[in-house]
A and B are shown apart, each in its own frame.
Chain A
Amino acid sequence: MPEATVSLPSLLEPVTGGVREITVSGGTLREALADLLVREPRLRPHLFDETGGLREHVLCFHNGTNTRWLDHWDGPLSDGDAILFMQAVSGG
């Protein structure tokens, strides 16, 4: 099963006990994110909301592509892929 590295913003350090990178595995991006929540279930309410989707101001990039621009999350995952979470900031 391919493995990817999930990078988390510093604001989430209190959630993970200071861990900023988590290795996940899965055949697709969706499976990788599901694996992330298995490995660190405390992240769920901070990344996803009651809609079942990403929180409004949470961004997730897969190899540099904003996952909001993807039609679905079922594209294949490859070894060494990078999944980056960050916060959307508008205004100054």
Chain B
Amino acid sequence: MGVRLLVGTAKGGFWATSGDRRTWEVAGPFFKGWRVTTALRMKDGRVMAAVASDIYGPALQVTEDFERWEQLPAGPAYPEGGDRRFREIWTLKEKAGVLYAGVQDAGLFSSADGGASWRAVEGLNEHSTRGGWVPGAGGLCCHALLFGDDPGRMWCGISAVGVFRTDDGGKTWTPRNEGVPCAIEDKEHKGIGTCVHGLAQDPDDPNRLFRQDHLGMFRSADGGDRWERNEQGLPSGFGFPIEIDRATKTLFAIPQESDQHRLPAGGALRVFRSTDGGDSWRSASQGLPSRDFFGTVLRGAMAVDGLDPGGLYFGTSAGTLHASSDLGESWTNLPVALPRVLHVSAWTE
């Protein structure tokens, strides 16, 4: 079975395709000059890509054939006259026929008609703690969204604010950050000020969550009610992406030296994986640049393909692209030098 990667960069999107997950063809760019910030393969087979420009703002584009794109007539939007700006889309998800978009300035929007129209998830966007939401280095962005078995349960992650959970389909949301150190304390609004960078979820137990946070690596066995630190074997608790292989539940993370330096430790590009639910982590970096490498991996720039054995793919801020078809046992460095990689999606075909 082949794999298609959508690689979103700071200056356009690229396709990387492979029939054997060893040799790759790269094509693009599409949306030349636009940031491609995230993407979704919808249940109906179409691909939705979020694009953004510092000049012209964000939009959603859709393709049925990976070639011809059409901008959706409408997208998430904040009301005219308000102080919020819709700057870009950080995550796109689909559940039970409803599309969700997590955006910057932080907010969540949903569409029940395939993206033709969008409405704000007011319970989150107008949350009582909103006055204490302040942007992190990457902006005030809602970048992660997970779903529970219970159709009413969802989690979202907002950078520099924390994780929120709803149990009533989005009407009400509660911060779920107990056990995670506060990064930016707010005098008035409690329960926020943690800085979630990435979320992953046990495919068989949606309440078992894994969290790459600004201040460490954490996990929760109870849907985020309580978090515990799990960093044994990691060179640093700081990093951005976290992914999980569906079949083996292997976790993957790419730590950085520290939040101050934000570089690969020692100039080595290293992936760390855990095969025991986060109890311990080990490097799985055979074939990756082991010296003189100073690119980093952003939160949306790593993806798994769900095949057996599981494939793992990521791009870096240095424009490099890396692929493993064996759960990180070995790596292929694709012979490309792309713009800064913001996002990687992996789909089988």
Contacts and interface: CB of A to CB of B under 8 A. Distances in A.
B80 A11 contact: no
B131 interface: no
Contact of A15 (B59, B78, B82, B84): B59
B82 to A, nearest CB: 6
B59 A55 contact: no
A55 B34 contact: no
Given A14-B69, A17-B70, A46 B81 contact: no
A14 B13 CA distance: 12
A58 B55 contact: yes
Interface residues of B, number: 26
A47 B70 CA distance: 18
A42 B31 CA distance: 16
Nearest to A45: B57
A11 B32 CA distance: 8
A39 interface: no
B87 to A, nearest CB: 10
A44 B57 CA distance: 10
Given A14-B34, A87-B55, A50 B78 contact: yes
Instruction: State the main secondary structure of chain B at its contact with A.
Output: loop
Contact of A49 (B31, B53, B54, B57): B57
Contacts of A51: 80-81
B15 to A, nearest CB: 16
Interface in A44-73: 45-47, 49-52, 55, 57-58
Contacts of B73: 41-42
B71 A50 contact: no
Given A42-B73, A45-B75, A50-B80, A11 B53 contact: yes
Interface of B: 31, 33-34, 51, 53-59, 61, 69-71, 73, 75, 77-82, 84-86
Q: What 9 pairs across the A-B complex have the smallest Cβ distances?
A: A46-B56, A87-B55, A57-B55, A42-B71, A52-B80, A11-B33, A45-B57, A15-B71, A50-B80
Given A45-B77, A87-B55, 4 more contacts: A11-B55, A45-B86, A46-B53, A49-B85
9 contacts: A11-B33, A12-B56, A14-B34, A15-B56, A45-B57, A45-B59, A45-B77, A50-B84, A87-B56
